[in-house]
Amino acid sequence: MGDAAGRMREILEELYPLCRSITGDGVRATLERLADRLPAAMERSEVPSGTQVFDWTVNDEWQAREAWIARPDGRRVVDFADHTLHLVNYSTPFRGRLTRQQLLPHLHTLPDQPDLIPYRTTYYHRDWGFCLSHRQLAELGDGPFEVCVDTGLAPGHLSYGEVVLPGETTDEVLLSAHVCHPSLANDNLSGIAVASEVMRALAARDHRRYTYRLILAPGTIGSLTWLSRNADAVRRVRHGLVLTGLGGGGPLVYKRTRHGARPIDRAAAHVVRRRGGEQRDYSPYGYDERQYNALGFDLAVGRLSRTPHGEYPEYHTSADDLDFVTDDQLVESLDAVLGILDVLEHDAAYTNLSPCGEPQLGSRGLYPTMGGTAATEAVMAMLWTLAYSDGSTTLLQIAERADLPFEALHRAARDLCDAGLLGR
């Protein structure tokens, strides 16, 4: 996975400086750069401002050029050029000279984390503001201050991208990552990087049972826009995963679908449990899984992350930087996603074609020639598979009963089929 780690790190480093939002050139630049790295053509959509999306309306497009606060001597004490988080996302234009008291309502800090810059947005309420560390605020001075917020809010478009890898069936597995956060390495870019590498790995396979669709869209309004424009594709979705927060430490955490017992829930539970992770029940708060699970769609889409949003101190702060995300965490997350998809691809019920007692595996080259030693995982997987393959019990059910990894049961089933001992 060394090459995969390098490619994911390159994505983080290339996209981290860009100022993304729910609309604007930052999203377009992100999609354009990802298009060059993905294994199939990306279809990019531009949806006009004012478009009705269920109960929402696509917002005016936002562009940020420069924003700063300067002391009377002209020295800039807060500057968007130094960090994209300094500007409240979707700030309206402003230019003027303000006293300290006039400026304070527009400043946002984290008193309990005095060295960090918070991330704040004002998507649906017209206002402007700056985010800065609490130490910067303490050293700000009395003013007056020259304030510049050179932004644009005007009718434009919302942008999103999608990539489709056809499979043997038109049934789809949906993968989704949000592309609206600026300069946040874990809560934005880790999901994008892992999703991109998952698609690369899937494209390299000779056979895919399912068709795979990756959606790269701004959070909430982006997924809703996709859902409103793709009724045919929505009907083909059988399983799905929202990918986010996959590089910031902590164990893997799978959030179940609204139903809680869909095939994606069982597949993810198996993989995450064996990697020491945890599962959580569905709640209608979080990322875009809440849109895909909404009653009007009822899609079987879970969410995979590491420590979830709001539960680590770096969340939505400048500490969620490139150093916070490690290659080992990204690679483990990638392996987990591929493991979940492997279960979906290969889980099936088989029938033991030699059910009258245990068949002789040794004569078929499936059993060690030297007796007297403990059975290997491969042998145990074959024995468990033969013991429970009654035509209705699936490999995943057997794996859970035997406490063995699904991939061991899948290999066993393949070898037993090749030996004529198992059939479908």
Q: 348-423 adopts what CATH topology? A: Arc Repressor Mutant, subunit A (1.10.10)
Q: CATH 1.10.10.10 spans which residues of the chain?
A: 348-423
Q: CATH 3.40.630.10 spans which residues of the chain?
A: 2-59+157-345
| The predicted structure's pLDDT at residue 370 | 40
- Residues in the chain predicted with pLDDT less than 50, given as ranges, are 370-374
**Could you give the CA distance from residue 267 to residue 308 in angstroms, rounded to a whole number?**
20
Q: 2-59+157-345 adopts what CATH topology? A: Aminopeptidase (3.40.630)
126, 368, 372 from 375: Cα distances, Å: 68, 9, 9
| The predicted structure's pLDDT at residue 364 | 83
**Could you give the CA distance from residue 355 to residue 422 in angstroms, rounded to a whole number?**
10
**Could you give the CA distance from residue 242 to residue 226 in angstroms, rounded to a whole number?**
14
What's the predicted TM-score (pTM) here?
Answer: 0.94
**Could you give the CA distance from residue 221 to residue 299 in angstroms, rounded to a whole number?**
17
CATH number belonging to domain 63-154: 3.50.30.90
| The predicted structure's pLDDT at residue 372 | 41
CA nearest to 405, candidates 339, 357, 358: 339
The 3-state secondary structure of the chain, one letter per residue: CHHHHHHHHHHHHHHCCCCCCCCCHHHHHHHHHHHCCCCCCEEEEEEECCCEECCEECCCEEEEEEEEEECCCCCEEEECCCCHHHECECCCCEEEEECHHHHHHHEECCCCCCCCCECCECCCCCCCCEECCHHHHHCCCCCCEEEEEEEEEECCEEEEEEEEECCCCCCEEEEEEECCCCCCHHHHHHHHHHHHHHHHHHHCCCCCCCEEEEEEECCCHHHHHHHHHCHHHHHHEEEEEEECCCCCCCCCEEECCCCCCCHHHHHHHHHHHHCCCEEECCCCCCCCHHHHCCCCCCCCEEEEECCCCCCCCCCCECCCCCCCCCHHHHHHHHHHHHHHHHHHHHCCEEEECCCCCCCCCHHHCCCCCCCCCCCCHHHHHHHHHHHHCEEEEEHHHHHHHHCCCHHHHHHHHHHHHHCCCEEC
Q: CATH 3.50.30.90 spans which residues of the chain?
A: 63-154
